[in-house]
């Protein structure tokens, strides 16, 4: 597993920020030579645009096309929508990431705050007996 944070200065809107996050996740997965990847996101509009081929026009069209092109390098690359309440770790990581001016990547570990959030997210999905 990998956690990462990218500085994205001057991003115009939340949809663009979410699309860039997907693009950066795919790029990092390709760089690390992962062949089977599942990317989860809470922005349903972005997940749908990336998951479905479309000739539509939107502000994120170029990003979507780049993600789809990079996706050809994977055996399996899928995008799944998760509710924000089940994806708190991503928001904790985004908050922490604002303090970095360069890309940060954590392999097999994550910042303590993110690990705690992941544990809470897992509890909601699979509560203890």
Per-residue tens of pLDDT for the chain, all 129 residues: 787 888 888 887 889 988 999 999 999 999 999 999 999 888 899 999 998 876 567 889 999 999 999 999 999 999 999 887 777 888 788 888 888 888 888 888 887 888 888 777 666 555 665
Q: What is the pLDDT of residue 78?
A: 93
pLDDT of residue 58: 83
Amino acid 55: pLDDT:
57
* Chain centroid to CA 119: 18
For residue 28, the model assigns a pLDDT of: 93
What is the reported pLDDT for 100? Answer: 85
- Give 58's contacts (C-beta < 8 A, 6+ positions apart): 15, 49, 64
Q: What's the CATH number of domain 2-125, 3.90.1010.10, 3.30.420.10, 3.40.50.300, 3.30.1360.70?
A: 3.30.420.10
Handedness of CA 120, 121, 124, 129 (dihedral sign): negative
Helices and strands (DSSP H and E) totals, the chain: 5, 4
Radius of gyration in angstroms for the set of CA atoms belonging to the chain, rounded to a whole number: 15
């Amino acid at each position: 597993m990998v956690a990462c944070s990218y500085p994205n200065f001057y991003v115009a809107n939340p949809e663009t920020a979410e699309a860039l996050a997907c693009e950066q996740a795919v790029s990092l997965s390709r760089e690390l030579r992962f062949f089977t990847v599942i990317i989860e996101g809470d922005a349903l509009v972005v997940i749908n645009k990336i998951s479905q081929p479309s000739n539509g026009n939107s502000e994120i069209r170029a990003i979507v096309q780049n993600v789809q092109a990079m996706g050809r390098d994977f055996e399996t690359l899928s995008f799944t929508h998760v509710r924000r309440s089940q994806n708190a770790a991503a928001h904790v990581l985004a908050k922490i990431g604002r303090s970095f001016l360069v890309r940060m990547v954590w392999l097999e570990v994550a910042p303590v705050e993110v690990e705690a959030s992941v544990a809470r997210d897992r509890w909601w999905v699979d509560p203890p007996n």
